[in-house]
Structure 1
Amino acid sequence: MATNPTPNSKPAIYLQDMNEVRKVFDRFDANSDGKISAEELRGVLNALGSDTSPEEVARMMEEIDTDKDGHINLDEFAAFCNGNSDPYQSAEKELKEAFELYDQDHDGKISAEELHKILTRLGEHCSVNDCAGMIKSVDSDGDGYVCFSEFRKMMTNHKQ
C-alpha cells in the first residue's frame, strides 16, 4: 500500500498527487489489467522514441517491481514516482531523460511540433496548435519553446 509522505519529506518531483500517478500508470497499462508488464513498459518507452534495450527494461522492472511478481502495480509505480533512494537526484535524472525524449532534435528546447509528435505516438488526439497552446501556458520567457528549466517548473509545481 502506498504511504503518504511525512510533513518533512520532499514532495514528489514528477507527480504531485495520486490522481496524477494513476493517469500516468493507466497510460503505461495498455491492456487495463491493473499492472504494467515489461512489454507495456517497453511499448511506452518506444513510443516516446527511446531505444531502451531489453536488458535496460529488465533492470527497470527489477528496480520497480518490489514484490517480484513480474509486473508493476500501482503502489510500486507510485513509490517509484516518489523516488525512494535519493529523491532529488533520482528525480532530476529522470526529469532530464523525460525532457530529452520530448526534445527530439536535441536543441535544448521542446517545440510544438516535437510535443505533437510525442503526444500522437502516445495516442493523444491534438493538433499542433493545441500543442502550441500547451507550450504557451508554461513558456515563461515567451520564446515559443519549453526549455529544461520551464519543463522542470511545470513538472514540479503546477501552481507556478
Structure 2
Amino acid sequence: MAAYDPDDLKILFSLFDANRDGNIAKEEIKELVSFIAGEKAKENDVAKVMQLIDINKDNVISIDEFEVLITKYFPMVPLGARSIFNTFDLNHDGFVDKNEFNQVIKDKAELLNERNIDFFKKILTRDDSDKISYQQFIDSSIQHYRSYIANRDD
C-alpha cells in the first residue's frame, strides 16, 4: 500500500466535497463523475460507486472511507495534482515559472492532457506573477472545480 501525503488526500477529497460539509454525498459523486466523463452520469454508475466506497452504508463518503478507497484501489497511482505540478517544476524549487511551463510544452506536449496545459496557461497569465507555488496551484484547482459546480448547466 502506498503512503499518500495526508494533505494531498484532503485536497483530493475537498474536490469531491462540493458543499464543504465534510462528506461526499451521492449528488456530489454524480457531479464529479459527470465532470470527469464530460457527460451526465447515469444513476446506476453512481450507485455502483457509492456501493463500493460507502463502507458503513450511511449514504455519504467520509474522509476515512475515501482514504480506504484511494489506498486500496489506487495504491500505485500518484495523486494527480502533485504529479501534474512536478511535471512542470523542472528545477524542483517548488515553483513553476513561465519559462519552465514553455519548456515542458515544447518538450512533452504529446504526454500532457490539453486540459492541464490550458489550466497552467490560465494560472500563469491571471496576474503579473512569473511563477506559481504548489499551494497556489492547489488553490486554483479547487477554485476551478467549485466554479464548474456553480456554473454547470442542469
TM-score normalised to structure 2 length: 0.51
Gaps of 5+ in 1: 1-9, 96-107, 120-124, 135-160
* Cα deviation, residue 28, structure 1: 0.7
Q: 1:115 to 1:67 in 2, by over 3 A?
A: same
- Give the letter aligned to residue 31 of structure 1: N
Q: 1:19 to 1:56 in 2, by over 3 A?
A: same
Which residue number in structure 2 is paired with residue 11 of structure 1? Answer: 2
Gaps of 5+ in 2: 81-109, 126-130, 133-154
- Give the letter aligned to residue 111 of structure 2: K
* Cα deviation, residue 29, structure 1: 0.5
Percent identical among aligned pairs is 26
* Cα deviation, residue 129, structure 1: 5.0
- Give the letter aligned to residue 83 of structure 1: K
Tell me the SS of whatever aligns to 1:83. helix
2:111 equivalent among 90, 109, 128 = 109
CA distance in 1, matches of 2:17, 2:10: 10
CA distance in 2, matches of 1:27, 1:79: 17
CA distance in 2, matches of 1:33, 1:129: 31
Which residue number in structure 2 is paired with residue 49 of structure 1? Answer: 37
- Give the letter aligned to residue 127 of structure 1: K
1:127 equivalent among 122, 126, 134 = 122
Tell me the SS of whatever aligns to 2:72. coil
1:77 to 2:71 alignment: no
Which residue number in structure 2 is paired with residue 26 of structure 1? Answer: 14
1:66 equivalent among 32, 38, 55 = 55
CA distance in 2, matches of 1:26, 1:17: 14
Tell me the SS of whatever aligns to 2:28. helix
- Give the letter aligned to residue 72 of structure 1: I
CA distance in 1, matches of 2:59, 2:121: 34
